[in-house]
Amino acid sequence: MAARTPIVGGNWKMHLDRAGARDLLRELRDELGGIEGVEVVICPPAPWLGDAADALEGTSLQVGAQNAYWLPHGAYTGEVGAAMLIGTARYILVGHSERRHLFGETNEETGRKLAAVLELGLEPILAIGELQAEREAGTTREVLREQLAAAFADVERLPEGFVVAYEPVWAIGTGLTATPEIAQSTIADVRAMVADRYGEVTAEACRIQYGGSVNAGNVTELAAQPDIDGALVGGASLDASAFATICRAVAAAAEGAA
Ligand code: PGA
């Protein structure tokens, strides 16, 4: 099996004022600036993306946006076009559950965003995940399959190392982390779905993160699972030392597995 470089994202969501963001960026640069064996992507709120790009320049840390619109420009008040992020952000989160469930983003819109981000040569992190009721009803596989099918509708091929974040909605911000067994088996299912669409080689190279209440205490067991290639971290990404611990644990797990 080809080794996959794991990837950890820190999704700050709508937190921190400018001074707080700059402080955290400085701390992250100090803690993680030279980290190896894991790719690290920092996703601050949109107004602080430029500060992040400046603060992290010259380090291996990447900047990611939390969302972007698929059209490049036009009369779309309040939107940020993915094309506008070129030169500032390398990664763009697409289809985070808060976009889907709080702001009504549809599977089809997620698909348009994904296609646009790939077309621009930027790196998407495609987030998918089921609601608690869907998990309880036993429809998790169908839900994920539908989300992936819509996201991939206009995407003929995936770049090597494409990133999916599997985030069960019931685990996000709730403290209810999926057990390593649930996370592993669902992520193995997701990898099989990617293989059905794009073939085994692409699926084996695809990096699939787990997200949902990941913290410094539970990351090691999650990262030890063979199909889990890192984490998408919300709450714990606002604390530089907790986030650094998570990134180091993911790198160590990958090294241990190599
Ligand atoms: P959480 O958020 O780590 O706070 O659960 C994860 C996410 O929304 O990506």
Q: What is the pLDDT of residues 186-243, one digit of tens each?
A: 999 999 999 999 999 999 999 999 999 999 999 999 999 999 999 999 999 999 999 9
**Active-site residue flag, 167:** yes
d(CA 206, CA 196): 13
- Rounded distance from Cα 179 to ligand 1 centre (Å): 15
Is-contact 251 35, C-beta < 8 A?
yes
Ligand 1: residues with CB < 6 A are 11, 167, 172-173, 211-214, 232-236
Residue type, 35: I
Whole-structure pTM over 0.75, yes or no?
yes
pLDDT of residue 1: 45
Residue 2, pLDDT > 90, answer no
In the chain, which ranges are continuous DSSP H helix?
A: 18-32, 49-56, 97-102, 107-119, 132-136, 140-151, 180-198, 200-205, 219-223, 240-257
Whether 142 has a pLDDT exceeding 60, the answer reads yes
